Amino acid sequence: MSDWKTRLTLEHPCWNGYRELIRRLPDAHFPLPADLDRLLAPGQANAAGRPIRFRAACELPGVAYEKHIYQTGEVSTRENSWHDLFNALVWCRFPELKAAMNAVHYRHLAEQQSGRRGPRRDALTLLDESGVIVTTTRQGLLDALRARDWRAAFLDHRQDWLDAGLMVCGHAILEKFQSPYRSMTAHALLVLLDDNAYLADLDIRLAGGIANGSRLDTPADLSPLPLMGVPGWWTEGPQDAVFYADSKVFRPPRRI
């Protein structure tokens, strides 16, 4: 896999926040756990204070994934796995958020009386796998996204996207961007900013909300987001009224 970086179109905005991390990885071979460790911030730890390290999955047979991360700080990483590579990159990009999600999973695993995850863990799994974070000072944009009013969100509020933030935190979404397609849909955590100063410690603030349950409690707290509708994210043709009229991609809300 010496040409592994050629699979990624790093100019695409989905790689914002990850581009420089990827460029720091070796070109000559697919990243190993030791390569990924070098991307971690100094002192990066999980919620229990244990240093985060990436460990080859073959060295950790049979371990319970979330439990092992919380108890040891070791993140099981499979050889030549794109999915696990992108998971590691999210650990480097959003260390506090990932640590908070792991801690909630660990606590609920210890408390659960059945094999079911429950709504909070379901929501965290959606965010972890297919999540994005939308930040904006424009309430109208968030209202349109929640209402699945795609014409309003992507055409009427098009200018609002110029100063909005859209950050991928779901590693399965990053994996899909190796071969992006028109109907790619993420689960969006919508964040209204008082001002853009919030962005400076977004990771810490979101982690706090995840830890205490105020930010994400059920899957309904996440909004579906057709990613190729976001201005600049679809590059294969115009993003015009005809594009947004495709109800197979931009699905209307379900009628109750």
Residues 90 and 143 in one domain: no
Residues 174 and 191 in one domain: yes
* Enclosing domain of residue 226: 124-244
DSSP 255: P
Domain count of the fold of the chain: 2
| Per-residue pLDDT in tens (0 to 9) along the chain, 256 residues | 568 999 999 999 999 999 999 999 999 999 999 999 999 999 999 999 999 999 999 999 888 999 999 999 999 999 999 999 999 999 999 999 999 999 999 998 887 766 677 899 999 999 999 999 999 999 999 999 999 999 999 999 999 999 999 999 999 999 999 999 999 999 999 999 987 666 678 999 999 999 998 899 999 999 999 999 999 999 999 999 999 999 999 998 876 5
Residues 109 and 197 in one domain: no
Residues 13 and 76 in one domain: yes
Residue among 141, 128, 58 nearest 93 (CA): 128
Residues 134 and 148 in one domain: yes
- Indicate whether 256 belongs to any domain: no
Q: How far apart are CA 87 and CA 113, in angstroms?
A: 28
- Indicate whether 251 belongs to any domain: no
Domain final position from 118, 142, 165: 118
SS3 at position 88:
helix
Domain final position from 70, 94, 118: 118
- Indicate whether 48 belongs to any domain: yes
Buried (b) or exposed (e) across 130-164, using 16+ Cβ within 10 A? Answer: bbbbbbbebeebbebbeebbbebbbbebeebbeeb
